[in-house]
Structure 1
Amino acid sequence: MQEKYSLNEQTFLFIQEFEKDVEVDKVYTTQELVDIFEVSDFTKGQFSTYKKSKTSSMWWALKRSGNWSMVKRGAYKKK
């Protein structure tokens, strides 16, 4: 039986781990973060069948983290 994963939860766990090594004021687009997420260990095979956008999950994870601020729409920097 395959274990079920939450896209939002895995994206948030990814951001928490990723931001440990990011310089303050380094800017990433949401798409760049999604691309990095997709090749990380946090991405699960079942996510490829989801209708929900990984971009919206990434936005949710960035907001929930509290360590990122929006520079412009779709671009965030670490505080």
Structure 2
Amino acid sequence: MILIVVPLWIIAAVAIISFSRFDRGTQTPPSDSPRLSPEALLTERFASGDVDETEYLHRLAVLRPTAEKPVDAHH
């Protein structure tokens, strides 16, 4: 009896895994969802408390580089 039940459970598990992988590959993300700009995404994270003010300002400075960057005299 166990020689019949175990292979049936194995076949069922393989079938479920195969179908779940097949379904995952056919799904496409919604194309009508707006994509936020990096600055807007950072502002949203700051507003929700994911980043503090210091980190927000640092990352914003990276996204908005100024023309007056310090010149490294060693290079």
TM-score under structure 1 length normalisation: 0.27
Q: Greater RCO between the two (CA within 8 Å, min separation 6)?
A: 1
Higher fraction of helix: 2
Higher Rg of the two aligned structures: 2
Q: Normalized per residue, which structure has more strand?
A: 1
